[in-house]
Chains A and B, each alone.
Chain A
């Protein structure tokens, strides 16, 4: 099992130095740019209908992918681990494709007919189904890349600080933001530990002939049970130990926590903030003014 998502990778890079608060903002801004619906209006039988602007979507995803790739290089992160954890995505894409093909006209088709199935009463499959599945695939990939960038370059402790900072306005309405931040930080800190547990227990069970991937359904279920139950048991005993350790060191959820490290705003933070904010603003503006680069620049309305 090879899961690295969520693990902090200790190297020196400009990305590691950016203020965690700025990084969270950047993550949200870039995600918004990825997830906005890039539509255009076409006239179908005299009625204006909003349809996905595939060419623009593809261009945006391409640009975002490029940005993420550059960030990966800047952050000195390796792609190998990311891609190996994306292997399971193929299954998701396949299922999505089946759903899109089976659901008729989930959108007004603009990409033309891919093929027809004579056996199923001439069921028509449009290229839009493929594009729809592809869009979700790209969104997932970009989300994974962005979250990987955040967690790989930010220590859990820094993340907690950022969460707490963002939640602090809620203190006015008695929202326990410090406790929530602590909970989130503990959850994040323990992801690698739990993964190690998964690794160790699955090895122990594999030595006893358990099978997680091969064999019949019953066998796989039994194999998985042999993994999940010990995992729960160890997670509970760990949480109990941790709670005791925290109490022993006088952890008071209501107490005010001080910080060892002071965060000061640097030029690189400002740059990152402005860059991501500008990207998000650009994406929103493009939608607001129904920007059509292919029509206005090349004089043709593609797709």
Chain B
């Protein structure tokens, strides 16, 4: 079952002088198994939307349905089983490294699964499994999470969410503050998780990552959903009105086309495919 949103609206601090409309009648439909990117400039409502996905926020208008869980503005229509949807939708927040609190890495990762009702041994098993997935070996199990580096901390936080075996994994700027190599590794990790059948929804400002990994993009601007579609198609349009930059390979290919190169934009997904396209033209 997929995610469907109908005229979803959210206002922060309603009926006060500092009221702010964060989401404005957003409607969309997402299929299962996708690798979905949410993009848009800071303050456009992406993070607010993310918090609706596991019922941390309740809409002030409209509704969003995640499988059979309905998160609606009207209290009566809202589904009651918050716990189930939180187990199903794992959210990794921005600066997730700040959520660690246990004495050891292992215990911290166990926190989620234990909350969702797994036994001690099962939780530990899950924890080891997900720590392995994020690339942290046995030597980390007994270390204090506060002694780790920033990138390692974030991996632990992600493992903590993965250990709850979510069906949807939502990531709010997972690569912010990581070095380019770390960011790439992180994205590869999400790709492998996606391949194992988990739907990934991620928020990012890096269009290169969007083009490289996402199967679908949602572009937000001032709380409104402006565009939804495949990244290859969307990036062919001019996105500067939404304060978005084209991915590097696209803008490079476009510059070449201006000089009469005649490259096929939708095939230039990254450095490798761009090089291939250029070679193809040159070979002719």
Contacts and interface: CB of A to CB of B under 8 A. Distances in A.
B279 interface: no
Contact of B161 (A81, A208, A211): A208
Interface stretch (A43-51, A116-124, A227-235): A227-235
B146 interface: yes
A204 B116 contact: no
Contact of A81 (B16, B90, B93, B95): B16
B17 A206 contact: no
Contacts of B252: none
A201 B98 contact: yes
Contact of A226 (B51, B54, B101): B101
Interface residues of A, number: 27
Contact of B99 (A78, A204, A209): A204
Nearest to B113: A209
Interface string A166-208: 0000000000000000000000000000000100110111111
A14 interface: no
A200 B112 CA distance: 17
B101 A203 contact: no
Given A203-B51, A225-B101, A233-B98, A209 B112 contact: yes
Contacts of A9: 16-18
A210 B100 CA distance: 13
B83 to A, nearest CB: 7
Contacts of B101: 225-226, 229-230
B239 interface: no
Interface string B100-112: 1100000000011
B112 A208 contact: yes
Interface extent on B, as a size class? Answer: 20 to 34
A85 to B, nearest CB: 13
A9 B146 CA distance: 36
Interface string A25-66: 000000000000000000000000000000000000000000
Counting chain A CB atoms within 10 Å of each CB, the highest count among B15, B83, B98 belongs to: B98
Contacts of A230: 98-101
B87 interface: yes
Counting chain B CB atoms within 10 Å of each CB, the highest count among A9, A10, A200, A209 belongs to: A209
A216 interface: no
Given A203-B56, A205-B99, 14 more contacts: A78-B15, A80-B16, A200-B95, A204-B91, A204-B93, A207-B56, A207-B86, A207-B89, A207-B90, A207-B93, A209-B86, A209-B87, A226-B111, A234-B98
